[in-house]
Amino acid sequence: MDITKLKEMKSVQERVDEAVNKSHAYQADLNAMVSFIDPSEQIENLKHIDPQAPFYGVPVVLKDLVNMKGTVTTGSSGILENYVSPYDATITEKLRAAGAIIIGKSSCDTFGMGGTNMTAWTGPVMNPYDLTRMSGGSSGGSAVLVASGVVPMAIGTDTGDSIRKPASYNNIVGLKPTYGRISRYGVIPYASSLDHVGVFTRNVKDAALSLEVLAGRDDKDMTSSQLPVEAYAKLLNSDLEGKRIGIIQNVIDAIQNRETLNLFKDLCDQLTAKGALVQSIHLDEKLMHAFLPTYYIIANAEATANHANLDGLRFGVLHEGNSMEESMIRSRTAGFGKLLKKRFVIGSYALFTENQEEVFRKAQKVRRLIVEDLKRVLCEVDVVIAPASAQGAPKFDDVSIDQLSSEYLIAENYMALANFSGYPSITVPMGYVDGLPVGVNLTSAAFTEQLLLNVALAVEESTGIKDMIKEPKR
């Protein structure tokens, strides 16, 4: 059921108690929570909130990158395991003003750096559809808490596809709006030019409602947009008559799984029957093969700069040494995992003065070419579409995929398009492959969230997959 119906059917105490109890009960199987927050004070404060507020008494979860005053915000890292937030992020303030009850912080790849949710300091997050499989990352904890029915909405962040890929693996909706549509003030960054705040829900209507609550100008985040916020939920309309939908043929050609391709073809046939003008479009193949290296260079260079202050002296857990330098080395060595160190090495290399022009600046130029290519395509169609993943969630020990193959470089990484460009993008459930959920992804031009949500609603109506809950079972 959607959030509006949930509010009608259960009291505040009932829905919060149910969420808290489930979050504890599922923790052993899913390992999705980093910290739990006592909701009693927030429930008491509801007496100051209008009962008609959109999230009145609705339990939600924050990704463990989002500050909430007086709570631990670790970024799922070791170096910040003792960090207590001294202030609220803007989205935390907005959620509480809308009546939401925040019951905890969800696990993520450390500082959002990863696509598996296997790098969190608290251990990997399991997929409720198969506990031997990945949740996807970096926002995997939030994704599985929505998918398993703990909360109807959870906050995620998306730097490459960190909301939209976990949404695909967990049979839920994952929305990343336009860059600047939601404030990032108070959210621990990964890569500032690529980071977006977004949401997980179990249906498109709740995603639209969540965007209404979270969107808007924030003077504390100078990258946030001045554009007014639309009534996204009220304006939802699934009419596809005359809508131009472009299939990213490069992605289709790269996918090897016939079951995924058949699901996608059936969906496109249904969209055509609803009046959409569905056609194939092609992006520059050479540029698509450059997505991943371009992303790694830009994202990790920005991450290296953003996290230079995590040294145990200014921030983080301090490990004493015989000198300041030794203390910093010990603190960072103990507080950062293997993958994080690898990414910082890549970022540092790209930022060395002698490498900036040939590595970092060149990556920025390639990014510009990628964005221009997407812009070209979106002059021909309203929305581009493709499967969000070539198949269901991989097993934790799966090393079979060739990371130099087109299926990996293109089909599994193309959604970075929406981060390079900053354009809005959404993943919604498409169907099942070998019993595992697989989603479909849609992307449109900047600040066309209403259009994007409308087409996503039409997809949801075509598949009939919404409000799905999968309780974890061993």
Residues that are catalytic: 63, 138, 162
CB burial of 68-92 (b: ≥16 within 10 Å; e: otherwise) equals beebbbbbbbbbbbebebeebbbbb
With 0-12 CB in 10 A as exposed, 13-18 as middle and 19+ as buried, what is 388? buried
CA dihedral of 182, 186, 191, 196, whole degrees rounded to 10: -20
The phi and psi torsions of 239 (rounded to 5 degrees) equal -65, 120
Sheet arrangement for strand 244-248: 33-36, 101-106, 59-63, 153-158, 196-201, 173-176, 425-433, 436-444, 383-387, 244-248, 277-281
387: β partners: 440
Measured distance between the N- and C-terminal CA atoms of the chain, rounded to whole angstroms? 26
With 0-12 CB in 10 A as exposed, 13-18 as middle and 19+ as buried, what is 469? middle
The phi and psi torsions of 438 (rounded to 5 degrees) equal -135, 135
201: β partners: 153, 173
What is the H or E stretch that residue 127 is in? strand 126-127
Rounded CA-CA distance 26/11 in Å is: 22
